[in-house]
Structure 1
């Protein structure tokens, strides 16, 4: 099986690239196209078509897109390009070259009022980020009807810069010692990027064998935490003071953050081998430890995207 992974420089993309290590795999990036990644502008149909024509993949995974909603709040045109236009162009290119497509989406397409959400539950995004993700799903389905759409929750894993994951941002806040108010209402289900990548690898294999075409599937960790609860877990695990961390309703009060988008994951395609569940309590310490100390010049350099 030949595979192309669009967006391989991001948190999930790096894990997906590793998960496809037993195949002839090509990874792409743009602003961070280093370490063997092919530089591709995912908003350029010409770039996409050249890459697909050169490598002729059997399966394509689209990991392009910013998974931090706040990044796009002040740049709607850029957000539309990266999250919707890129998805449409990749789907069109994949359809033209005859490959199979796995497109990554988000639990933010739901409003968080009636969990758990099945793949056929009615989307109702509360914010612009969720609406862009839903528009991307629809664009992919229109351009490539056989594509699989995989919705994932918030992810964590080894970060290249502190702002890359919510978990490392919270770790920085715990380590800094300055007073901070963190939301204690909205529940998230942090899922390790390597676990999500293994799901991607299994689905891609199923697609290659003609299974699950045109489906929507969900994957998520089972444990849910609010940001405040996560901060307390970090402080306790490393014996740090939590006196500066205060519970609040900062996310919930905004009205545009879903309270609980728990995904029902019971309908994964038949024939997929069980995926190893990673316990958050066991996996988060090595992820957050490098980011607990107050920022130093060396760490600041690492934070450059």
Structure 2
């Protein structure tokens, strides 16, 4: 069996490549291309067609996307290309080469007002990123009707730079000691990238065996935290002061962050052997520890 993972240099993509290790895997990257990955511009149809024509994969997974507000706000056209146009082009190419296709979407397609959200709940994104992810879902359905779409919440795991995940960026702020206000209203459900990748592999396996899972699936950790709560948890775990961290409402007041996009995931475990649930309290310490310096011990 052969798999092509688009966006394999990103936080989720790296885990997905590892989870598909029982297949012959080609991972792609572009702006962060590294050794072992094929350099492919996912917004260029010719690049995509050339790779899939060469590899003839049985399954294609699209992890391409730009979720960081600082990036997409500064270059909206480029971010739209990566979130919407790339999804459409990859879906079209996957259909033409006869591969099963799994597209990664986001809980941000919902407005966060009436959780939990089932796969059939009506999307109503409140920010640009959410609208792009919804447009990408629609483009994928039109281009490849048999595609599977997996919505995920915010992810965490070992990173290459602090801003790669919300959790490690919060850890950097805890360790820096500079005064900062973190939102204590909007709830996130941080999910380990390796757990999400295992779900991707299970879905791919089901698709390859002809199992019908429905067009959209949800997967998420069950425990929710605000940014402020995560910061306090990090400080307490490592015995650090959190006096410089203040609870605020910045994300909620802006109106462009959903309050609570908790996903209802009950349908997916019923269809697949459930992935191993990773408990946040057990998994986050080794992820955040490298980003806590310079940290200062809590005063007694």
What is the CA-CA distance between 1:214 and the residue it aligns to?
Answer: 5.2
- The aligned counterpart of 1:41 is 41
Query: Is 1:182–1:245's contact at 8 Å kept on the other side of the alignment?
Result: yes
What is the rounded CA distance, in whole Å, between the counterparts of 1:103 and 1:76 in structure 2? 21
Runs of 4+ in 1 over 2 A off after TM superposition: 67-71
> Mapping of 1:129-148 within 5 angstroms?
129-148=129-148
> Mapping of 1:207-286 within 5 angstroms?
207-212=207-212, 215-268=215-268, 270-286=270-286
Task: Kindly indicate whether residue 22 of structure 2 is the aligned counterpart of residue 22 of structure 1.
Answer: yes
CA shift digits 1:246-268 (9 cap, x unpaired) = 00001000011000000000111
What is the rounded CA distance, in whole Å, between the counterparts of 1:211 and 1:274 in structure 2? 15
What is the rounded CA distance, in whole Å, between the counterparts of 2:251 and 2:187 in structure 1? 10
What is the rounded CA distance, in whole Å, between the counterparts of 1:83 and 1:212 in structure 2? 26
CA distance 1:224–1:213, shift in 2 (3 Å): closer
> Mapping of 1:3-82 within 5 angstroms?
3-82=3-82
- The aligned counterpart of 1:166 is 166
What is the CA-CA distance between 1:71 and the residue it aligns to?
Answer: 2.4
CA shift digits 1:141-189 (9 cap, x unpaired) = 0000000000000000000011100001000000000100000000000
Query: Is 2:213–2:271's contact at 8 Å kept on the other side of the alignment?
Result: no
What is the CA-CA distance between 1:271 and the residue it aligns to?
Answer: 4.5
CA RMSD of aligned residues (A): 1.2
What is the rounded CA distance, in whole Å, between the counterparts of 2:83 and 2:271 in structure 1? 31
Stretches of structure 1 lacking an aligned partner (at least 5 in a row): 296-305
What is the CA-CA distance between 1:213 and the residue it aligns to?
Answer: 5.7
What is the CA-CA distance between 1:269 and the residue it aligns to?
Answer: 6.7
Query: Is 1:147–1:214's contact at 8 Å kept on the other side of the alignment?
Result: no
Query: Is 2:159–2:165's contact at 8 Å kept on the other side of the alignment?
Result: yes
What is the rounded CA distance, in whole Å, between the counterparts of 1:83 and 1:143 in structure 2? 15
- The aligned counterpart of 1:107 is 107
Query: Is 1:211–1:269's contact at 8 Å kept on the other side of the alignment?
Result: no
Task: Kindly indicate whether residue 202 of structure 2 is the aligned counterpart of residue 206 of structure 1.
Answer: no
What is the rounded CA distance, in whole Å, between the counterparts of 1:68 and 1:229 in structure 2? 21
CA shift digits 1:29-51 (9 cap, x unpaired) = 11222120000000000000000
What is the CA-CA distance between 1:211 and the residue it aligns to?
Answer: 1.4
Stretches of structure 2 lacking an aligned partner (at least 5 in a row): 296-300
TM-score, normalization: structure 1? 0.95
What is the CA-CA distance between 1:70 and the residue it aligns to?
Answer: 3.8
TM-score, normalization: structure 2? 0.96
SS of corresponding position for 2:181: strand
CA shift digits 1:235-291 (9 cap, x unpaired) = 000000010000000100001100000000011175411211000000000000000
What is the CA-CA distance between 1:66 and the residue it aligns to?
Answer: 1.5
What is the rounded CA distance, in whole Å, between the counterparts of 2:67 and 2:79 in structure 1? 11
Aligned length: 295
